[in-house]
Structures are given as C-alpha cells and as structure tokens.
A and B are shown apart, each in its own frame.
Chain A
Amino acid sequence: MGGIFLLVRRSLRQHAFSTVATVVAVALSAGLVMSVFSIQYQARRAFTGGDVGFDAVLGARGSQLQLVLNAVFHLETSPGNIPWSLYQAIKSEPMVKLAIPYATGDNYYGFRIVGTTGELFTDFEYEKGKKLQVAPGGRFFDDTHREAVLGSFVAQKLGTKIGDVVHPYHGLVFDEASKHNEEYVVTGILEPTNTPMDRVVWIPIEGIYRMQGHVLRGTGEVYEAQAGQSIPDENKEVSAVMIKFRNPTAGFTFDQTINRQGKVATLAYPIGKVMLELFEKVGWVNRVFELVAYLVVLVSTAAILASIYNTINERRREFAILRALGARRRTVLTAIILESTAIAFIGSLVGYLFYAAILTGAAIAVRQATGVVLDVFAWHPVLLLTPIGMSLLGAFAGLAPAYKAYSTDVAQNLTPQS
C-alpha cells in the first residue's frame, strides 16, 4: 500500500499544474455547494424558525407578510396604521402577556427609526431570558425626552457614540432633502442581539407623533401635535403592535377574531409561519441555486476526469515500468482511482476556505440588508457530506482513466516511444 501512496503523491506532484487547477475547480464547487445549502438553511431558520421574541404582529388590514417584514425585520413599508385604541384593547387582554407599539415612518441615513415605549427595554425578551441591554456608559431613552437608543449595527456603521445627535429624515428611504428639524441625543447603544433590532434607531413613540410634518389620523380627521400639549389617545396611531401571548392557544383565538371575523386589523400569527409562506413562494429560487451548485459539481467532476485522463497516454511507459517491477494491474488501477479521489478530497478541504469566504461575504450582505446574522461556523450536514460526496465522485471520475491505465500493454510500452 505504501507503494500506491508513493505513486499517488509523485503523480500529483509531477502534474502539479493540472493538479492545482483541478483542486481549485473542485474547491470552488465544494465551497459553492456548502454555501448554497448552509445559507439556505440558516436564512430559513433565521426568518422562519428563529426566536424573534414576539408571537404575533397586529397591524393595518392587509398582508400578513408585509406586516411581519415591516415590524419584525424592518424591511418593507408599513401597510398602514391602526388606532391607539386597538393597541390598548389588545394590551388589556388577559391572554396577552406583552404588547408593545411601534410607530415608523422616518430613517436616519437609511436606518429605520422606530418609535416605541420603554417596555421594549424593560419587559421584552428577544430570546428566552435575554433582554435588550445597553453597552456600558449608556442608558435607555426617557419617554419624555428627545433621546435615542441605537442598535449596535447602526452605531457601528455610522460611528455614532453616546451623546451624539441624531437628525431624523422623513420616509423610510434616506433623502438628504427631507431632514426633520428635531434632534435626538443618543443615550445608549444596544449590545448586539444578532437580530434585525440591531439595525434600528429607537426613539420614544411620542417623538414620531411630534415630528415636524407628521400628522395623526386616529379619529379619521387630520391631527397635528402641538408643542406643550398632550396628544389625546383617540388621535394617536401605531404602525404595529408587537405581541407576546401567555400561551400558544391565545394566538389561534385572536387569529380567529381579528383575521376571520374582524375587518379593522390584521394579526400576523405565527410569525414563523408567515415567513415560511414567503420561503415557499420563492422556493423555486432555492431550487435554481441548488441546480447550479449541482451542475458546478458535475463540471468539476468532469475536470478531474479530463485532467487525469489526459495524463494517462504520457504515463503508459511509467505504468509498463511499474508492471515490469512487479506492480499488479489492480495496483495501477487503485493508484489512479486514489489519485482522482485525493484531488477531490483535497479540493473539498480547500473548499472550506471558499465556503468561509462566500459565507462571510453573504453574512455581511445579509446583515446589512436585514440584520440577520449568518454564522460561518454553524453546523450543517452538508459540511460533512460534501467532502464525502466529492471524494466518491472523484473516485467515479477516476474509473475511466484507471481502466485505461489498467489496460496498458507492458511489453509494448516498455521501450521509449519516439
């Protein structure tokens, strides 16, 4: 067996250029396959199965998906507002453990500004047992002051520090021309949560109501908040109410009363199921990515076959000499299959580097776009199956050249061919 390994090692070294080129091709395809499946899995889990801290979102009548994307992932536009009274009604329900209002409509350099209440910081758990924390030196905002708390990603991206001033811009898309006059002082930077909340600028909900140019239509009539005057509850509106139920059955009850019998609001529940519908709708895109990945694997398998097959003719004399030294046919056959397997296996190992690079790039892009964090080191069976599968395909690719080497006529090939 030591002889076979020596043959494999020397052959890989002798044909170093084609070996390296093929290894890189295999590595790229292995990295791509691992990335496609890992990103798919992690994205699906983050958007559909991850703990977002809330069970449901209550919002304006319309699309549940839009509601979830807007309120949980801070991505889409709001489908509209609901009156403050609805928030109060749901909050007073015994089956509701927590109801937190969100009001949106402004941004800070493209990062969404969400008006909310202090309960978000005191009562809300974004993961079981984990509440939002401000980094040392900071504090949560005071509901009665123009103060802001920044998500960690916002602070990191914009280089904003405690004590800095935040100028809101109207709308959800940054436009230099639509700057509001109000100023908010940053009192705290949230510790990273690795959730979309990291991409949000949090201010008191009254701040949204009192922002220059904002009007409220809680009663159906236009109302503009005046400085020094409290805002009557009937004029207030919220973009969404984030809800945590005391038990899972409550969600079904509210789903029944709000979505099927009611006509005023929409309850997106459960959040994971709503997002799952999105993933199922765009499932064909995943299939396309998978198909491309499989095709790339096929191409790299063909590359292994071609690179080894092309060397067999020039190596016929080598095989004849080895046979004359006593090597059996099956020794030569095994050496070639091992060689192609080794290329595939080494390629798969190098593929982890490509996988890490692709996933890091994707993680940066996904985090910037959604706040969802992909973990390069997250386990997925594809990380083990890819090297095994690629090695098997490599062995398969080696069969044809191995047979060619196996069939080498010793006597005919022992003399040099001019």
Chain B
Amino acid sequence: MPILDIKDLKKGYADPEGVRSLVVDVPAFSVDAGQQVALRGSSGCGKTTFLNLVAGILQADSGVITIDGEILTGRSESVRDKLRARHMGYVFQTFNLLQGYTALENVLLGMMFGKGADTERAKALLERVGLAERMHYRPRALSVGQQQRVAVARALANHPKLVLADEPTGNLDHHHADTALRLIREICSENGAALLLVSHDPKILDQFDTHFDFADINRRVRESAQ
C-alpha cells in the first residue's frame, strides 16, 4: 500500500495580470511505505510547490493526495497541519532551524505539534546523527553540516511515515553532501520512513534506485519542454 498516492494533482498561480498558469500537473504518482524516491528538476520547475502540496502547506486546486490512506486534499488547513505533524517530516535546503532554540529543542519542536515531546527519543536521534555533545548548542554555534544533521533528526523526530527533503544537500559541499545524504537515507530506513527527495543535482539522484525526472511526472513541465 502506498504511503503517498497522488491522482490528477493540479496547482496554478495567477500572475500580476491575473492570468492563471499551472505549475504542478501530476496525473499520478506514488511512494510506497519505506521506499526512497528522488525527483530531479531544474530550478523553478515547481519541485518545492509539489512538496508543499504533499506536505499540505499548500492547498491543491484539484486532484487527490492520500497520505497513509488519509485524504489530504480538500481538508481544512487545521486538519492538514495535524496530518503533517503526525505523518510527515520535512528537511529543507536551508535547514530552517529555529535560531533561538538549542539543537535538542529544535528536535523536540518536531514532535510537540504531533504525538508530543519525547526528550529521550530526541536525545537518541541527536546521538544517532553524532551530536550527543552538542545537543544544547544553538544552531549558530554549529557548523553547516551539524545544522543539517539537526534538521535530519528533527524531521525524523515524530516517527513520520514520509520524509520530504527539498534540496537537503544544496547548501553543503560535495563531501558533506554525500555524508548528509547517506545519513538521511540510513535514518529513514532505520525508522521505516519513506523518503521523497527533490534535487537538481544528478549525482544525488544516481544514488537512488528509484528516481524520476520531475518532467516525467509533471505534465506541465513536460509540455513546456516540448
């Protein structure tokens, strides 16, 4: 059974003149439980919008997104927030750690709006990503690679069934990017979470057994290219 199932998903935006143009047009897409899928696409092709739709941050114009059997689309914002908090983790390109909070608190915040804070699990995750000694540091006191590891721990904090990663290595050098990607994949596997990663970097995609070009699944990108 797919953890993520998408049917006829459409999302468009109106330009300043009021002309509405489609950004996402995905007839069908799915990710199985525990599966790791990578999507490649050039900048501005709608990858982030697609992930935000999957996360329920954006409301689709039409279509159906199902997360672990629960329909996300058409639901109120509050319900979508709840589903996101319970079922999903999100790793951002810019990490999006909260600067006023320690590494441990950042991870705890990843739990608080879902199943509730579990300090032991948060500590265990930080130990797992190699930050046992730095869990009480604030993000500014951590290196870029360490910040990304905190972001990974936070994304996994709430036992998510699906982890969304938007250019998670975009801000890292080649060496750190490889390490971070390996870590994300390992931790998702260890926690039984599916991973949907988007990136513009072909080297990253090559490491995934299942990877698509965003144009393959997004009709709108395909049509633009033709």
Q: What residues of A have a CB within 8 angstroms of the CB of B90 in the complex?
A: 324-325
A326 lies within 8 A of B82 (CB): yes
Q: What residues of B have a CB within 8 angstroms of the CB of A328 in the complex?
A: 77-78, 81-82, 113
Q: What residues of B have a CB within 8 angstroms of the CB of A325 in the complex?
A: 85, 90, 109-110, 112-113, 154
Q: Given that A323-B81, A326-B82, A327-B81 are known contacts, is A6 also in contact with B112, CB under 8 Å in the complex?
A: yes
List the A residue with the shortest CB-CB distance to B83.
A326
Task: Give complex CA distance A322, B81 in Å.
Answer: 10
Task: Give complex CA distance A323, B117 in Å.
Answer: 16
A327 lies within 8 A of B52 (CB): no
Q: Which one of A7-15, A25-33, A42-50, A73-81 is at the B interface? A: A7-15
Q: Is B132 an interface residue (CB 8 A)?
A: no
Q: What residues of A have a CB within 8 angstroms of the CB of B86 in the complex?
A: 326
**B101-114 to A contact mask, C-beta < 8 Å, 1/0:** 10001001110111
B57 lies within 8 A of A324 (CB): yes
Q: What residues of B have a CB within 8 angstroms of the CB of A323 in the complex?
A: 57, 81
Partner of A11, one of B81, B100, B158: B100
Partner of A321, one of B77, B85, B98: B98
Q: Dominant SS at the A interface?
A: helix
List the B residue with the shortest CB-CB distance to A410.
B57
Task: Give complex CA distance A138, B109 in Å.
Answer: 73
List the A residue with the shortest CB-CB distance to B157.
A325
Query: Chain B: interface residue count, which band?
Result: 20 to 34
B105 lies within 8 A of A6 (CB): yes
Query: Chain A: interface residue count, which band?
Result: 20 to 34
* Chain B min CB distance to A206 (Å): 79
* Chain B min CB distance to A406 (Å): 11
A2 lies within 8 A of B112 (CB): yes
List the A residue with the shortest CB-CB distance to B81.
A328
List the A residue with the shortest CB-CB distance to B94.
A416
Task: Give complex CA distance A415, B57 in Å.
Answer: 13
Task: Give complex CA distance A317, B97 in Å.
Answer: 10
Q: What residues of A have a CB within 8 angstroms of the CB of B78 in the complex?
A: 328-330
Q: Is B55 an interface residue (CB 8 A)?
A: yes
Task: Give complex CA distance A327, B111 in Å.
Answer: 10
Q: Is A278 an interface residue (CB 8 A)?
A: no
Q: What residues of B have a CB within 8 angstroms of the CB of A322 in the complex?
A: 98, 109, 113
* Chain A min CB distance to B169 (Å): 16
Q: What residues of A have a CB within 8 angstroms of the CB of B84 in the complex?
A: 324, 326
Q: Is A357 an interface residue (CB 8 A)?
A: no
Partner of A329, one of B77, B100, B105: B77
28 A-B Cβ contacts within 8 A? A2-B112, A3-B112, A3-B113, A6-B109, A10-B100, A10-B101, A11-B100, A13-B100, A321-B96, A321-B98, A322-B98, A322-B109, A323-B81, A324-B55, A324-B57, A324-B92, A324-B96, A325-B90, A325-B109, A325-B112, A326-B81, A326-B82, A327-B85, A328-B81, A328-B82, A330-B78, A410-B52, A414-B96
- In order of increasing CB-CB distance, the 3 nearest A-B pairs are A326-B85, A3-B112, A326-B113
- A interface, CB within 8 angstroms of B: 2-3, 6, 10-11, 13-14, 317-318, 321-331, 410-411, 414-416
Query: A2-B117, A13-B100, A326-B84 known; 14 other A-B pairs, CB under 8 Å?
Result: A2-B112, A6-B108, A6-B112, A324-B55, A324-B90, A325-B90, A325-B154, A326-B114, A327-B85, A328-B78, A328-B81, A328-B113, A411-B49, A414-B92
